[in-house]
Structure 1
Amino acid sequence: MANIIMLMCFVILLATLEHTLAGAIDTTKPYSENPTVQKFQEYLQIDTSRPENIEQAVEFWRREAEALGLPFAVYSPGGRPVVVMTYEGANSSLPSIMLNSHMDVVEAVPEDWIYPPFSAYMDDEGKIYGRGAQDDKDISIEYIEAIRTLKENNITLQRTIHMTLMPDEETGGFDGMVPFARSEDFKRLNVGFALDEGLPTTDDTLIVTNVDKRPWQMEFTIRGVAGHGSSMQGMDTAAVKLRRLLDVIMEFREDQMKISDSLEKDDGSFTSVNVNIVQGGIATNIVPSEFRLVVDMRLAITAKASDMDEMISSWIMATGANTTVKFIRKVEESPATAVDDSNPYWVALQEAACEMNMTLSAILCPATSDMVQLRLLGIPALGFSPKPRTTNRVHGVNEYLSATTLMNGVDVYVRLLKKLGNLPL
């Protein structure tokens, strides 16, 4: 069946020779006057890199739900707000569709940006700059605007759609998706399939991620002999031990880079490793007694957790006595969602893509999303964001999304929801 669908898509693509995404933005109305664009800018202007501002985002979504007459709920299984908005389907017995995204974003250094990162500035080309423009406030707006389109056109789907917004995906989901997925409130949603954030592409191909790498984030504490800044304490200082630890980590990193450099678009075959935080020292004239090192690894698909544990133990031994490690995040399993004819949701996604002359490519997600928690429960989940011809600036400086891409994304989700929401059991 998949081959037939691909053939149909190819024939349609050759016949039409149209733009990859249907439903281009209405060029008769300036971007600045477009309500969807304005809503996106308003959402970007909420600095949700600060946990205390998440409540502002919750109120933003409360207003959107009230405007559309959607049931709105806030759950706090981990102490932080999880938002659920519901577009009720005609047949509540059918498993629902979950549209997930997260309200939080990573921090941004204003001095590094050409425009303030929480200004949502739009340039003359229609590019909207802001932290979260690609990761992933864009799909939240596209979700709600797609639901608005369906509602305004009196289209009732067979399946219920739940739009969910998490408070802390960027820091591991420990107060959001992790406890929520285990809660009775989540079970009552009767989720059969979920869509979540995806990745931008520089061409017209749209990426679908069906499995995430396993995150291992570790905090090493290295202790050694302290003393006056003018003294030479030998080989037992924290700084000397820190160097030993960095040496063994970088040796492993170089080996993984060689694997990475020998591959083409196969992020699952190597383990990424980066030293992201180094802290220590209390004064310019005191030899520090302690250093703290935070390391972020994303495990290769074939890596065994037991082997990785042994390697980390060997790092500690090489560093020396009084070195300890604490795991900030350690996911040992990350199941994959099928992307073949055995998965009716994937088939529906491909059919919708075909109708819109889009080409899909299923790959591994090199990072980690909230979908790991759903896949561990056996719920099929795919990462998907319609961001073609977009330079990837996720977590980078000058993150942006064009207004055209945003509006096209709404059209994409309208078509997808019609397919997924009417999929029979």
Structure 2
Amino acid sequence: MWTNLPRVLTLVVRGFALTLAVLTTVVVIRTLTFPSYQTSPPECKTTDPDFIPADEERLARFTSAIQFQTVSYERGVGTPQELLKFVRFIQESFPTIHSSPLVRREVVGNYSLLYRVEGSDGSLEPYMLASHLDVVPITQEASWEAPPFSGQVRDGYIYGRGTIDAKHSLMGSLEAVEFLLSRGHQPKRTLYLAFGHDEETGGHFGAKVIGDVLTERGEKIAFILDEGTPVGDGLMPGVSKPVAMVSVSEKGIVDVKLKVQAEGGHGSMPARKSAIGILARAVQKLEDNPHPSMFGTGPEARMLEYVATEMTLPYRMLASNLWLFSPLVAWVYAKKPQTNAFARTTTALTSFTAGVKDNVIAPEAEAVVDHRIHPMQTVEEVLEFDRKVIDDARVMLEVKGSLPPSPVSPHGKDSPTYTVLQETIQQIFPDALVTPTFMVANTDTRHYWNLSSAIYRFNPYVMTPSDLPRFHGLNERISVRNYERVMNFYYHLIVNMDKPLEVKRHGHEDEL
């Protein structure tokens, strides 16, 4: 037996070397031949006859829109008078839309707006562009570079709450429709504009009512576009070009209350185990044992593959061969909170409540854990994982609220709706790459799932790493150039959607 050992070892080494050679060959070939998912439609230029400039009049409308303090504070608590004034302002600011026989305007849920722009071809399914009227509250007002509801223009930027979330898309889409109708053009495909008034607190009285109204009418929507992920410049490692990230899904949510009841009493005579101690160990287990990586099972893998051909070599090799390198990429993703959120269901301890007095042992302790659920997991799977990790019958779990992950919308070259969106993006952002992803936050689209299987979330403006803290934060702003892109993006999308949902482009040689 021992005399054959050198021969066996030789065979093992040769087998390993052969396997390594085959793997290396496959990796090299895939890296060199991996397909491109990008398109090159005709660019929208400022010299085009149908270009919408951010002129003085359009900028004045947008800056005025920012001045309405349409703040949503909590569910059911907002600023109704400001909403009414803003709705009136919109009606007065777009005379062509509001006088056109092609347009039907409805006020839904007291403050939300639903427009139907009638198309000439009733055989085509309508589509919908969505945004919202409300904004989040202001914090640290004294630290703003410009008053947060001023709409002030400084150094090529428009400052104010709502400039990127999301009055830019609301006003930009209205400007696009106003421009289209003022040119005497009736779209072929019917278009809805849906503007909820309480998106920032869940959309329960705005978008939900809009969704219910359209459902009751039996409406089926071919395509829905709402606010979402931006064109990131410098946000994706290994890519020098801007990357337009189109969210084809959203993470779900489950807020779990953990509760422990134990013996209370005076602090001088403590029991061996306290409610606080039991609960503290439970939440420590949850933080020490994250949910398993789901990288490679959902849109997060496509996000890399769709830009693989434009990456620098090490990144390109990894992205082109996720069949082999997914565990390595998942390990890297887990190192940072921003990327870890794309790899798994996240666990955030958001509150811990116990005790009433320094010398009194608390008989009860409660904590709340906020999970954001990966698109390939369910609420039930998340709860079962928590129970197994905690493994303590004394800890009671109660679901305070939940929302399952949204369905994943079709994407890629075989999806005509995604292709129309991609080509429109690359007309306005010709240097950008387009890739699918998912949102770690949620939008009003949660109320539209039954209306369409093709729901996308995208913000048509360029965002850099330094811009990220401005979202819901200090000094929210958008550049004048970016707002110009917003208007032209919606206009081109409307024109492109005039055609059957096939892989076709809007060229400027085809005048309206």
- 1:47 maps to which residue? 71
Q: Gapped runs of 5+ residues in structure 2?
A: 1-34, 234-241, 294-329, 503-512
Residue 197 of structure 1: how far off its partner (Å):
0.8
> Which residue of 200, 219, 239 corresponds with 2:276?
239
Residue 106 of structure 1: how far off its partner (Å):
3.8
- 1:342 maps to which residue? 414
Change in 2 beyond 3 A, CA 1:402/1:369 = same
Task: Tell me how many residue pairs correspond in the alignment.
Answer: 406
* Identical pairs, percent: 21
- 1:250 maps to which residue? 287
Q: How does 1:82-93 map to 2 (within 5 A)?
A: 82-93=112-123
- 1:392 maps to which residue? 468
Contact map agreement 2:286 2:390 (CA 8 A) in 1: no
Q: How does 1:148-163 map to 2 (within 5 A)?
A: 148-163=178-193
Matching of residue 215 in structure 1 with residue 239 in structure 2:
no
Matching of residue 98 in structure 1 with residue 128 in structure 2:
yes
Q: How does 1:114-125 map to 2 (within 5 A)?
A: 114-115=144-145, 118-120=148-150, 122=152, 124-125=154-155
TM-score (norm 2): 0.68
SS in 2 for 1:142: helix
Residue 112 of structure 1: how far off its partner (Å):
8.2
List per-residue Cα deviations over 1:148-173 (Å, max 9, x = no partner). Answer: 22122222111222111224434444
Contact map agreement 2:334 2:340 (CA 8 A) in 1: no
- 1:75 maps to which residue? 108
- 1:416 maps to which residue? 493
Matching of residue 139 in structure 1 with residue 164 in structure 2:
no
Matching of residue 328 in structure 1 with residue 395 in structure 2:
no
Contact map agreement 2:64 2:151 (CA 8 A) in 1: no
SS in 1 for 2:73: coil
Contact map agreement 1:46 1:56 (CA 8 A) in 2: yes
SS in 2 for 1:337: coil
Residue 99 of structure 1: how far off its partner (Å):
1.0
SS in 2 for 1:412: helix
Change in 2 beyond 3 A, CA 1:179/1:217 = farther
Change in 2 beyond 3 A, CA 1:58/1:317 = farther
Residue 316 of structure 1: how far off its partner (Å):
5.5
SS in 2 for 1:158: coil
* Distance of 2:274 and 2:443 partners within structure 1: 39
* Distance of 2:137 and 2:355 partners within structure 1: 25
Residue 380 of structure 1: how far off its partner (Å):
0.8
- 2:63 maps to which residue? 38
Contact map agreement 2:220 2:451 (CA 8 A) in 1: no
Structure exhibiting the larger radius of gyration computed from Cα positions: 2
Amino acid paired to 1:46: T
Residue 107 of structure 1: how far off its partner (Å):
4.0
Amino acid paired to 2:248: N
Contact map agreement 2:256 2:369 (CA 8 A) in 1: yes
- 1:402 maps to which residue? 479
Contact map agreement 2:258 2:395 (CA 8 A) in 1: no
Residue 121 of structure 1: how far off its partner (Å):
5.2
* Distance of 1:385 and 1:96 partners within structure 2: 21
SS in 1 for 2:106: strand
* Distance of 2:264 and 2:161 partners within structure 1: 41
List per-residue Cα deviations over 1:271-314 (Å, max 9, x = no partner). Answer: 22212233444455544444443322122244354432212223
List per-residue Cα deviations over 1:1-53 (Å, max 9, x = no partner). Answer: xx8994534xx67xx9x9xxx76644xx5x9x93233233224x322335231
Contact map agreement 2:420 2:501 (CA 8 A) in 1: no
Contact map agreement 2:136 2:472 (CA 8 A) in 1: yes
SS in 1 for 2:475: coil
Amino acid paired to 1:260: Y
Residue 409 of structure 1: how far off its partner (Å):
0.8
List per-residue Cα deviations over 1:359-379 (Å, max 9, x = no partner). Answer: 322222222333344345543
TM-score (norm 1): 0.80
SS in 2 for 1:191: coil
* Distance of 1:24 and 1:347 partners within structure 2: 26
Q: How does 1:171-250 map to 2 (within 5 A)?
A: 171-178=201-208, 180-183=210-213, 187-203=217-233, 204-228=242-266, 230-231=267-268, 233-250=270-287
* Distance of 1:326 and 1:381 partners within structure 2: 28
Matching of residue 355 in structure 1 with residue 394 in structure 2:
no
* Distance of 1:108 and 1:222 partners within structure 2: 37
* Distance of 2:262 and 2:221 partners within structure 1: 52
Residue 209 of structure 1: how far off its partner (Å):
1.0
> Which residue of 19, 32, 40 corresponds with 1:8?
40
* Distance of 2:156 and 2:360 partners within structure 1: 53
Contact map agreement 1:136 1:197 (CA 8 A) in 2: yes
- 1:261 maps to which residue? 334
Contact map agreement 1:172 1:329 (CA 8 A) in 2: no
* Distance of 2:222 and 2:181 partners within structure 1: 22
- 1:60 maps to which residue? 86
List per-residue Cα deviations over 1:228-270 (Å, max 9, x = no partner). Answer: 5x44533543322331232022113497695633699685431
Amino acid paired to 1:8: S
SS in 1 for 2:462: coil
Contact map agreement 1:212 1:365 (CA 8 A) in 2: yes
